Amino acid sequence: MDIDLFVAAHRAEWDRLAELVRRAGRLRGPEADELVLLYQRVATHLSIVRAAAPDPALLGRLSPLVARARAAVTGSHAQSWAGVGRFLARDLPAAIYGGRRWWVAAGVIFLVTGGLIAAWVAGDPQVQATIAAPEEIRSLTAPGGDFETYYSSAPAASFAARVWTNNAWLAAGCLVLGALLGVPVVVILLYNAVTVGVAAGLMAAAGRLDIFFGLVTPHGLLELTALFVAAGSGLRLGWTVVDPGGESRGSALARLGRSVGGVALGLALVLLVSGLIEAFVTPSGLPTWARIGIGLLAEAAFLGYVLIFGRHASAAGHTGDVDAAYAGDTAREAG
């Protein structure tokens, strides 16, 4: 293909499309129709260039032009505040609410496991001896020991960022690895339950269980709830691999996967809040009742948000999946 001849033949259409894109918000009916028509033509031109003569300079001109034209024709939904509002008020709570049986079950598994481990560690000195040397345990559990000073071991802002990052990776692991039949999710959940149970058991054996709950409760309620939601979503995804219901496995995983992606974004916000509480409230000089009260308020706000908005969205038929217009095409499976 002669590039110079191709450019000469279509330059006027490209220039006209660029002009219409610049005025996209002020176009009249005939001009809007012209925009759509030229967008289709120039998109075809771009395909021809890519296939027949991928000239870098011409591709550099047509690719961004077609992208801007596409945004002008379809609308910039990704940056729409209305879209953000729909996500927060409808899609996110619907997705979390729809998986409530899974994350409640994950929470029960965690709490029962952690409680049994804590009771076992607290009541058996031999078990404690296998965990760490006596001096190490005293260093952890004594007044002013490592367990208490951990929450003030770094500047609050730095500590909050570190905690948020660690917890976000943990939640992401539960969500992403759920497709592996949920097995890694169970491992992550049980590992963290054992970790919390051991710490609680050691503090209880030292007669300082009240200090444990006074430090863990303010941020731990919201943080653990986010972990339960992530684990429940991952387990739900893993079960879909086993039993996709009345649809194809690929379609079921795609639908639930899009919903889980939204949950991941929402949990990042939730974990940011819990991280701020852990950095600024947990080690603060506030009375224990005040610190726990802040944690209870944060937990109640999140659960109320999920139950109220989620129930309403679910009753309206929403599942947390994206609108059909943005879900993409589905290939027919052989069968």
Give the residue extent of every domain in the chain: 3-74, 83-323
Alpha helix stretches (DSSP H) within the chain: 3-22, 29-52, 56-74, 81-86, 92-98, 100-123, 125-131, 134-141, 146-149, 156-176, 183-205, 209-242, 249-280, 288-315
What is the block-wise mean pLDDT of the chain (335 residues), using blocks of 10 residues?
84 91 80 86 87 80 88 61 82 94 97 97 95 94 92 86 88 88 93 96 96 96 97 94 85 85 92 95 94 97 97 90 51 45
Q: Which of 174, 150, 175 is nearest to 163 (CA)?
A: 150
First and final CA of the chain: distance in angstroms?
Answer: 43
pLDDT at 33: 83
Which pLDDT does position 332 carry in this prediction? 46
